[in-house]
Structure 1
């Protein structure tokens, strides 16, 4: 609990931390007053049953009980309102801190399998964390301080009763600890599985056209969503069943302690070791102690789940951002140079293994090779999605780490195979690259990319809304929008990853024309499986297992008879295409 409170304090500003401290103090005082109120019952009863009745002492103890209850309720109302205030502050700070941190992470960190977990963290996870000060902390603090007060007070009734209460508290604490360990171990698996399921649901929704086109909706061997749901159900069952056994162990221990204390009190009374009023006071304290401790046991699972949520947030915030320079360097040109570059994802194998290459400013370079050769990774390193593990990547004479992420972003325009368009109009999506672009600028890039053909046949033209992710447009139309956006940005370096993959001939021709326009006076790097898109490149880099095995223009590589020539001949035989050579329109 202390770690939870410390982290909540880290999330808050000075005002929020002050409110948190006051709230905790008020809640602790509630627990002490609650314990004292029940302890005062023993001397009150002793006064009544000891003739002659000392009425002044009776009213003294009764007044003490009333005052404890009254102050307790005032503190309850105050701390509850403070809890909601602190919860709101935590929620606001939580979103701001995670949002700011996500903005500093490497772009390549945002893989598809992280969509679901991050979405769940920002939704349910944030509410779990905000729920701690708003609801849980009061029950936890009171559940600890009230029994602690009653245990300390029980020594004043009889030292043997106090020892019995202390021993019972230790046993209950151990049982509670066991319950929380069970919940923590199984909650991690459950949260992982539910995050994977969320990612699979998003994937399942987005891939409906492909799934239906190939009739695989009812084929379980291809249904990772069904597998994810089965795993989630299994982990949820384990969490529920094992958590139930933990609760049984806790409440069984609590009942055993209560029974033992009551038996001890009765035995001591029968032996005349304590008086009947003291025994009655012990029974009252014992039975009233059940309420906060039982509530603590019932909430232990929720407390652990919220603690796990905090742990996942802390793990996210511990992901190191890309280092940014204090004074970013200014590039001199748009030439790109890689020297001794090595890179591997996380703790996985090396993907880029010692690349040395210079890409002159204004050149058109194509990157080809088998799947998994590192082509897309190479582009991501140039665009500073990640930093290289070894070696340097320079743009305009400066290491990309000296330019900073913002500097690299200004220098590059990137087009991916999987184009994502934001909810809004076609014009809105283009103006993301240049907010001040005029209508004439939009028309110019639309003509070059043949996006004007799309705009003209849409009912609302430029003001046509594209839907979430560009769902109202076809794949080829989205790709035209993406390339038009890159052209409008007018960056000196353009990175295209599989820009013509899975396009029909008409869209492929339009995209190829747009790429030719982009290559006119920019440094362009294209990754493609379709070799027809790279025939006109100034230079072709052939990657295999993270290394450049060949480089040269199309004719030279064909004449060399190496990997590129083999790929070319295989594609020609497989497709039956007669592809034009360099220089042929």
Structure 2
């Protein structure tokens, strides 16, 4: 619990931390007063059972109990209101800190399999964290301080029962620890599986056209969604069943302690070594101990789940952002150099290993190679989605780390196969690249990207809403919007990754024409699948197993008879295409 409180403090500002400390002190005071009130019953009963009745002593202890109850309720009202204030502060701090951190993480960190876990963290995880000070801590603090006060008070009544209570408290603490370990181990698996399921559901919804087109909805062997849901169900069952066994052990230990203490008080009373008043007082203390300790056991699983939620937040906050320069440098040009570049994902094997290449300003470079060769990774490193593991990448003679992420973003326009459009209008998506763009600017880039054909046939034209991730548009239409957006940005460096892959011939031709216009007077690097794009390149880089194995123009590489020549002939045979005298297919 101490660690959980410390983690909460990290999410709060100075005012919030003061509120948290005051709230914890008030809750601890509640527990002490609650325990003191029940321990005071023994001297109250003793005053009534003496002959004659000691009324002065009776009214003294009655006053003590009354004052304890009144102070307890006052602290209860105060700490409850503070709990909501601290919960709101935690919620605000959580969103602000997490949002700022996510904005600083490398773009490449945001893989598809992280969509579900992040969404769950910002949704349920947010409420779990805010629930800790608002509701959970009060029960936990009182569940610890009230029994501790009653156990200390029992030593004043009878040291033998005090020792029995102490031994029982140790036994219950061990059982509670066992329960929390069980929950923690199984909750990690459950949260992982439910995060994967959430990602799969998003993917399943977005891929409906392809799934329906190829008739795979009724084939379970192709459905990772069903598999992830089955795994989630299994991990949830394990969490529930094993947690239930942990609860059985805890409540069994608690019942054993209560039974043993009651038996001892009866035996001591019958032996004449304990007075009736003390026995009654200890019986009341014993029975009242059951309530906060039982509640502590019932909440142990929730405490651990919430602690795990904070742990996941801290793990995310521990992901290092890209280092940014205090004063970003300004490049002298748009030429690109890669020297000794080596990179691997998440400490895995190197995807790129020893890349050395110079890409002159204003040139058109095509990157080809087998799947998994590192083509997309190369473009992402130039766009500073990640920083290299070893080596340097320079733009205009300056390391991209000295330019900063904002500087690299300003210099580059990026078009990928998997286009993401923001929920909103077509015009709004284009203006993401240039907020001050006029309608005339939109019309100009639309004509070049052949987006005007799409806008004209839509009933709402530029004001057509594209849906979440552009779901109301086809793949080719989304790609045209993406290229128009890149044209509107007017960046001097263009990175194209499989921009025409998986498009129908009409859309492929439209996108290829738009790319040709986008490449005018710019430094262009394209991961190429369309053979005419490769032929048109000033220079071709052949990547294989993370290394550049060949480079040169089309004719030179074809004559060399190496990897590129084999790639070229395989593609020509597979597609049945013939190269025309103009160099197109």
- Normalising TM by the smaller chain, what interval? over 0.9
1:20 maps to 2:20: yes
State the match for 1:281 in structure 2. Answer: 281
State the match for 2:459 in structure 1. Answer: 459
- Give the 5 Å matches for 1:142-181: 142-181=142-181
1:114 maps to 2:114: yes
Q: Deviations over 1:37-94 (max 9, x none)?
A: 0001000001001111111111111111111111101111111111011001101110
Structure 1 unaligned residues grouped into runs of 5+: none
Q: Deviations over 1:238-258 (max 9, x none)?
A: 100100000000000000000
State the match for 1:319 in structure 2. Answer: 319
- Give the 5 Å matches for 1:23-422: 23-422=23-422
SS for the counterpart of 1:93 is helix
Equivalent-residue separation in structure 1 for 2:523 and 2:423 (angstroms): 30
C-alpha displacement at 1:582, in angstroms? 6.3
Equivalent-residue separation in structure 2 for 1:505 and 1:6 (angstroms): 60
SS for the counterpart of 2:278 is helix
Equivalent-residue separation in structure 2 for 1:8 and 1:26 (angstroms): 17
Equivalent-residue separation in structure 2 for 1:547 and 1:477 (angstroms): 34
Instruction: Give yes or no for contact 1:535–1:581 (8 Å, CA) kept in 2.
Output: no
C-alpha displacement at 1:571, in angstroms? 1.1
Equivalent-residue separation in structure 1 for 2:341 and 2:328 (angstroms): 22
Equivalent-residue separation in structure 1 for 2:105 and 2:580 (angstroms): 43
Equivalent-residue separation in structure 2 for 1:583 and 1:410 (angstroms): 33
Q: Deviations over 1:317-342 (max 9, x none)?
A: 00011111111111111000000000
Equivalent-residue separation in structure 1 for 2:79 and 2:392 (angstroms): 56
SS for the counterpart of 2:410 is helix
C-alpha displacement at 1:528, in angstroms? 2.1
SS for the counterpart of 2:122 is helix
1:217–1:398 CA distance, 2 compared to 1 (3 A): same
State the match for 2:481 in structure 1. Answer: 481
State the match for 2:10 in structure 1. Answer: 10
Instruction: Give yes or no for contact 1:106–1:322 (8 Å, CA) kept in 2.
Output: yes
Instruction: Give yes or no for contact 1:493–1:524 (8 Å, CA) kept in 2.
Output: yes
SS for the counterpart of 1:378 is helix
Equivalent-residue separation in structure 2 for 1:331 and 1:29 (angstroms): 63
C-alpha displacement at 1:472, in angstroms? 1.2
Equivalent-residue separation in structure 1 for 2:275 and 2:120 (angstroms): 58
C-alpha displacement at 1:555, in angstroms? 1.6
State the match for 1:536 in structure 2. Answer: 536
State the match for 1:490 in structure 2. Answer: 490
State the match for 1:501 in structure 2. Answer: 501
Instruction: Give yes or no for contact 2:366–2:534 (8 Å, CA) kept in 1.
Output: yes
Which moved further from structure 2: 504-513 or 525-534?
Answer: 525-534
Instruction: Give yes or no for contact 2:532–2:583 (8 Å, CA) kept in 1.
Output: no
Which moved further from structure 2: 181-190 or 553-562?
Answer: 553-562
Instruction: Give yes or no for contact 2:206–2:471 (8 Å, CA) kept in 1.
Output: no
SS for the counterpart of 2:30 is helix
Structure 2 unaligned residues grouped into runs of 5+: none
Q: TM-score, normalised by structure 2?
A: 0.99
C-alpha displacement at 1:583, in angstroms? 5.1
Q: Deviations over 1:451-484 (max 9, x none)?
A: 1111111111111111111111111010000001
Equivalent-residue separation in structure 2 for 1:82 and 1:315 (angstroms): 28
C-alpha displacement at 1:531, in angstroms? 2.1
Q: TM-score, normalised by structure 1?
A: 0.99
SS for the counterpart of 1:534 is helix
Q: Give the 4+ runs in structure 1 shifted more than 4 A.
A: 581-585
